[in-house]
Amino acid sequence: MASDEDFKNDNINMAGDKKDKGCWDEDCDKKGGGPDHKHQEPLFNFNKGQFKFSIWYFVAALIIIMLINSFFTSNTSETVSFSSFKDLISNGTITEVQIGKDYYTGTAGSTGSIPGSQIQVYRTIPVDDPSFIPLLDSKGIKYSAASQRGNSLISMLLGWIIPFALIMVVWRFMFNKMGGSGAGVMSFGKNNAQLVAEGDTGTTFDDVAGADEAKEELVEVVDFLKTPRKYLDIGGKIPKGVLLVGSPGTGKTLLARAVAGSAGVPFFRLSGADFVEMFVGVGAARVRDLFKQAREKAPCIVFIDELDAIGKSRLNVAAGNDEREQTLNQLLVEMDGFSAKSGVIILGATNRPEVLDAALLRPGRFDRQVVVDKPDLAGREAILRIHATDVKMGGDVNLTEIAKSTPGFVGADLANIINEGALLAVRAGRSEVLQEDLMEAIEKTMAGLQKRNRLINKKERKIVAYHETGHALTAAFTDGADPVQKISIIPRGIGALGYTLQTPTEDRFLMTKQELLGKIDVLLGGRAAEEIIFNEVSTGASNDITRATDIARSLITEYGMSDKFENMVLTKRSATFLGQESGMSQREYSETTQQYVDEEVAKIISGRYEQVVKLLKEKSAILESITAKLLEKETITSDEFTQMVGA
Q: What is the DSSP letter of 452?
A: T
Q: Is 394 left (phi over 0), alpha (psi -120 to 50) or beta?
A: beta
pLDDT for the residue 429: 92
519 band by pLDDT with thresholds 50, 70 and 90: very high
pLDDT for the residue 142: 85
> For 162-226, where are the alpha helices, taking DSSP H only?
162-179, 212-226
Q: Is 96 helix (H, G, I), strand (E, B) or coil?
A: strand
Summarize pLDDT for 95-108 with one digit per residue, the tens: 888 888 778 888 88
Nearest Cα residue to 242 out of 266, 207, 216, 265: 216
Burial class (CB in 10 A: 0-12, 13-18, 19+), 96: middle
Nearest Cα residue to 209 out of 251, 244, 249: 251
Q: What integer is the mean pLDDT of 453-467?
A: 87
- Flag whether pLDDT at 520 surpasses 90: yes
> By the 8 A CB rule, do 379 and 211 touch?
yes
Nearest Cα residue to 467 out of 414, 515, 412, 536: 536
- Flag whether pLDDT at 70 surpasses 80: no
Neighbours of 507 (CB within 10 A): 15
End-to-end CA distance of the chain: 36
pLDDT for the residue 94: 87
pLDDT for the residue 431: 92
Q: What is the CA radius of gyration of the chain?
A: 41
pLDDT above 70 coverage of the chain, percent: 74
- Flag whether pLDDT at 527 surpasses 90: yes
CB-based contacts of 8, cutoff 8 Å, min separation 6: 202
DSSP states of 525-581: HHHHHHHHHHSS--GGGHHHHHHHHHHHHHHHHTS--SSTTTT---EEE--EETTEE
Q: Which CATH number does 195-372 carry?
A: 3.40.50.300
Q: What integer is the mean pLDDT of 441-462?
A: 83
**β-strands 499-502, 484-488 pairing:** antiparallel
> By the 8 A CB rule, do 267 and 260 touch?
yes
Distance CA 557, CA 594 (A): 10
pLDDT for the residue 450: 76
pLDDT for the residue 32: 44
Summarize pLDDT for 335-369 with one digit per residue, the tens: 876 555 667 888 999 988 888 888 888 888 888 88
Identify which has the larger pLDDT, 292 or 17. 292
Nearest Cα residue to 532 out of 607, 621, 472, 613: 613
pLDDT for the residue 427: 92
> By the 8 A CB rule, do 406 and 610 touch?
no
CA distances from 490 to 4, 425, 454, 487, 497 (A): 33, 20, 9, 9, 6
pLDDT for the residue 195: 63
Distance CA 322, CA 281 (A): 9
- The fourth-level CATH superfamily of domain 458-645 is Peptidase M41 (1.20.58.760)
Most confidently predicted of 162-166, 491-495, 595-599? 595-599
pLDDT for the residue 257: 84
- Flag whether pLDDT at 522 surpasses 90: yes
Question: Which has the minimum average pLDDT: 38-52, 182-196, 323-337?
Answer: 38-52
> By the 8 A CB rule, do 320 and 288 touch?
no
493 band by pLDDT with thresholds 50, 70 and 90: confident
> By the 8 A CB rule, do 277 and 265 touch?
no
Amino acid at 634: E
Summarize pLDDT for 594-646 with one digit per residue, the tens: 899 999 999 999 999 999 999 999 999 999 999 999 999 989 998 899 999 87
* Angle, CA 327 vertex, CA 321 and CA 330 arms, to 5°: 110
Give the chain's mean pLDDT.
78
Nearest Cα residue to 106 out of 90, 91, 124: 124
pLDDT for the residue 177: 57
Catalytic residues: 468
- Flag whether pLDDT at 240 surpasses 90: no
CB-based contacts of 603, cutoff 8 Å, min separation 6: none
299 prior amide bond cis, ω within 30: yes
CB-based contacts of 494, cutoff 8 Å, min separation 6: 448
Domain map (residue ranges) of the chain: 18-46, 65-148, 195-372, 377-447, 458-645
Kindly provide the b/e burial profile for residues 378-417, where b requires at least 16 CB atoms within 10 angstroms of the residue's own CB. ebbbbbbebbbeeeebeeebebeebbbbbbebbbbbbbbb
Q: What integer is the mean pLDDT of 16-43?
A: 44
- Flag whether pLDDT at 319 surpasses 90: no
Nearest Cα residue to 207 out of 271, 152, 262: 262
Distance CA 341, CA 233 (A): 11
Q: Is 247 helix (H, G, I), strand (E, B) or coil?
A: coil
pLDDT for the residue 468: 94
Q: What is the DSSP letter of 250?
A: S
Kindly state the helix (H) or strand (E) to which residue 133 belongs, with its residue range.
helix 132-139
Kindly state the helix (H) or strand (E) to which residue 644 belongs, with its residue range.
helix 638-645
Distance CA 601, CA 579 (A): 23
Summarize pLDDT for 244-280 with one digit per residue, the tens: 998 888 888 888 888 878 877 888 888 888 777 655 6
Summarize pLDDT for 470-487 with one digit per residue, the tens: 999 999 999 888 899 899
- Domain 65-148 falls under CATH 3.30.70.3270: no
**β-strands 104-108, 50-51 pairing:** unpaired
Most confidently predicted of 160-174, 212-226, 477-491? 477-491
pLDDT for the residue 544: 93
> By the 8 A CB rule, do 381 and 417 touch?
no
Distance CA 500, CA 485 (A): 8
* Angle, CA 339 vertex, CA 334 and CA 342 arms, to 5°: 100
Question: Which has the minimum average pLDDT: 61-65, 412-416, 459-463, 525-529?
Answer: 61-65
Domain 377-447, CATH number (from 1.10.3660.10, 1.10.8.60, 3.40.50.300, 1.10.510.10)? 1.10.8.60
Question: Which has the minimum average pLDDT: 1-15, 329-343, 480-494, 518-532?
Answer: 1-15
Question: Which has the minimum average pLDDT: 178-187, 505-514, 550-559?
Answer: 178-187
> By the 8 A CB rule, do 348 and 243 touch?
yes
- Flag whether pLDDT at 420 surpasses 90: yes
